[in-house]
Every structure is written in structure tokens, then in C-alpha cells.
Structure 1
Amino acid sequence: MRQVRGPVQKHKRAGGITPGMMQQIKDAAGLGILLWLIGYLASLVLSFSPFAGIMGRVLIAVFTPVTIGITWWWFKDRGLLLPYYAGVGIAWTVLAVVLDYLFIVLLFKASYYGPDVFVYYALTFIIPVGVGIINLRKRPVATRG
């Protein structure tokens, strides 16, 4: 799906949400929550395995390429600009921090915030931005914004 450029869209859905806004919600919140949920469920499984002690490193090693692949597929050929990807990265990072706090720190009384957690938060921002940069470099010069 390509981003519509030109005059402001006049077609609004219920609640004043335009199709472009709906896509932004899907990109930022929808995909962000889905990716977080995949990692969260995997962490629950790993916490009952022999890999519980190195769970953070395992999740980063396995799910970084998976997240890059999903993000690449999701945003391919969309014609978006770098600030859009940065906004998605910020939204995903905020979601990850808030959901981790609610569903790990509060729910399980976990207090571990080691280097792997901060690497995870950094990657959560860097992945959509990096995909955006690569997508922008692949576009012909005449179409760059």
C-alpha cells in the first residue's frame, strides 16, 4: 500500500479518523504490540527452560532478525519518509517500555534491567529507522522527498 500524497484526504471514518491515520495506528500500535507480544510469549516459554538465565541474549539473537524481516516486509514499497519511520520507532519503544513494566515488572515482580534489556529497547527504535533508511536509499533520486 502506498502513502497518499497530495491534497488533504476528505474521507473520514467514524470518529474523524482518516485512512492515513488508520494506517499510522496499524504501523505504530498494531505492529508494535504484535512484535512485543511475540517476544513476550517467547520469554514466558524460555523462563521455564534451561535457557532462563540467558533468556535476554537468546531473545535478541533470535528475534532481531525476525523483527527486521517482518518490518522489512511490512514497510516495503510504501514510499514513506524518514520521520515516519522515526515516529514508528518511538512508538514501538514507548510501547515496549510500558508493556514490559505492566506485564513483567508489575505482574511478575521482576526487577532485572540488565544491559540486554537496554539493547532490546535500542533495537526496538533502530530497526524501523534502519529499514526506513534502507528503503529510502533504494528509491530513485527523483522520488525522494
Structure 2
Amino acid sequence: MDKELLQDSLGWGFILWLIGYVLGMTLFFVVPTYAIGWVIMPVALAITLWVLFKRVKADTIHHYIIIAFVWAFMAIVLDFLFIVKALNPPDGYYKTDVYIYYLLMFFLPLIVSTQKIKKHGNITRHLHV
């Protein structure tokens, strides 16, 4: 893995997760627990799209596929360790908003990659894995 891929996958993956985690902890005191994920989602979606369009500079599908897998994996593992295991939420954690969040962390990099690569040239020449 090169430095850029490490930063884009592990670096941004952790930062995005941490933003959601901190927002969740903050909102815990002002929003009902069942609504926290729904309140965070639009903010997190906007930040994630900003990262993908403005900070991730890759031009290959391969790069974005790795980002997709790493971001989704990190979200699942870090949520399990730092929310499910550490906090043991009384009403559970895994609800519709969480599953949508995991799907977005996987599919957003793939969707954005097609837009960015299409904009910069023939997508078929970038399919080298």
C-alpha cells in the first residue's frame, strides 16, 4: 500500500468514524437515543462526500474499492468495540440507521469514483486491479 492509499483508507476512515462517534456522544445529551443516528447521518454524509470529492485524489477504481472495504470494515469493527462492547446500549445498537450507515461507507466511495473517473477520461482504462 502506498502512502496516499493508507491516508485515504485508514486515515480518513478513522477520522470519519471519529467525527460520527463524537457527534453521537455529544447528541446523546440532547437527542433521544433512537434518533441520534438519523440526526448525524446528513452531517456525516456531507462530510464524507466532501472528503471523497475534495481530499481523495485517486484516479483508479482499485483505489476506491480498497477505500470502500476499509471504511465499511472500520465502521463495523470500531462501532462494535467502542459502542456495542464498551457502552452496551440498553436498547441495542444495530437498527436501520446503522445498517444504512454501513452501506453508505461502502457504496459512497464506489459511486464517487465512477463520477470522478468519468470526468477525467475513459473509465475502462482505469479498471486495472
TM-score by length of 2: 0.87
* Residue of structure 2 equivalent to 1:138: 119
* Residue of structure 1 equivalent to 2:38: 57
Aligned-partner SS, 1:67: helix
Larger Cα-atom Rg: 1
If each structure's helix is expressed as a fraction of its own residues, which one has the higher value? 2
Amino acid of the residue matched to residue 74 of structure 2? L
Higher RCO (C-alpha under 8 Å, 6+ residues apart):
2
Alpha-carbon contact 1:43-1:59 (below 8 Å) kept? yes
CA-CA distance at 1:94 after TM superposition: 0.4
The CA distance in 1 between the partners of 2:117 and 2:109, in whole Å, is 12
Amino acid of the residue matched to residue 24 of structure 1? L
Amino acid of the residue matched to residue 67 of structure 1? T
The CA distance in 1 between the partners of 2:4 and 2:71, in whole Å, is 15
Specify every segment of 5 or more residues in structure 1 that has no aligned partner in the other structure, as ranges. 1-19
* Residue of structure 1 equivalent to 2:82: 103
Amino acid of the residue matched to residue 32 of structure 1? G
Aligned-partner SS, 1:122: helix
Are residue 37 (structure 1) and residue 18 (structure 2) matched? yes
CA-CA distance at 1:53 after TM superposition: 3.0
CA-CA distance at 1:23 after TM superposition: 1.7
Amino acid of the residue matched to residue 113 of structure 1? Y
CA-CA distance at 1:66 after TM superposition: 1.8
TM-score by length of 1: 0.78
CA-CA distance at 1:52 after TM superposition: 3.2
Amino acid of the residue matched to residue 122 of structure 2? V
* Residue of structure 2 equivalent to 1:9: none
The count of residues paired between Structure 1 and Structure 2 equals: 124
Specify every segment of 5 or more residues in structure 2 that has no aligned partner in the other structure, as ranges. none
* Cα deviations by residue, 1:59-89 (Å, 9 ceiling, x for unpaired): 112211221112211124x4x2112101101
Q: Aligned Cα RMSD in Å?
A: 1.8
The CA distance in 2 between the partners of 1:89 and 1:72, in whole Å, is 14
Alpha-carbon contact 1:136-1:144 (below 8 Å) kept? no
